[in-house]
Amino acid sequence: MLRRNLLAALALLAAAPAFAREGPPAAPQNTVRVRPVMVPVITNGQVERYVTYEVTLEIAEPGRMPEIQGKTPRLQDTVTAVVYEGVEKGWIVHGVVTNGNALRARLEEACNGLLGKGTVARALINPATRSAM
């Protein structure tokens, strides 16, 4: 009896991934993750540490994803330039985003300039890691 219950439990565990896949299909992916941007934190002329930021762009029209993915290298350059602009303008100070609204607005403006007005619905910025030197 115990052996039969054990076999039944193992069969259910093996089938669990199949049960998890049932249901409605996943919604179309409407985000683009840009390669992480590493920003050095400089104190007294020395690199103290690096902070890595991850930027995700929410795309207003998921049907344009293939076109947008084709522009990924230029998109990554644009995001990197804006993050470093944020350091220059004081929106990022010592690795901390101090004016997230300004940084987000500038990211959206720059990316929409590259991809077309209204393409990027929202830019999300997250510090990923902080590494000491």
What is the tens place of the pLDDT at every residue in 93-103? 989 999 999 99
- CATH topology assigned to domain 31-132: Tetrahydropterin Synthase; Chain A (3.30.479)
Paired tokens of 63:
């049907």
- pLDDT score recorded for residue 70: 92
Q: How far apart are CA 47 and CA 54, in angstroms?
A: 20
% of the chain residues with pLDDT over 90 = 63
- pLDDT score recorded for residue 114: 95
| C-alpha dihedral (10, 14, 15, 21), degrees to nearest 10 | 150
* 28 Cβ contact partners less than 8 Å away, ≥ 6 residues apart: 62, 65
Q: How many CB atoms lie within 10 A of CB 50?
A: 15
pTM for the full predicted model? 0.73
- The answer to whether residue 106 scores a pLDDT higher than 90 is yes
What is the tens place of the pLDDT at every residue in 38-52? 999 988 889 999 999
pLDDT band at 1 (very low <50, low <70, confident <90, very high): low
Q: How far apart are CA 36 and CA 59, in angstroms?
A: 18
Q: How far apart are CA 44 and CA 131, in angstroms?
A: 18
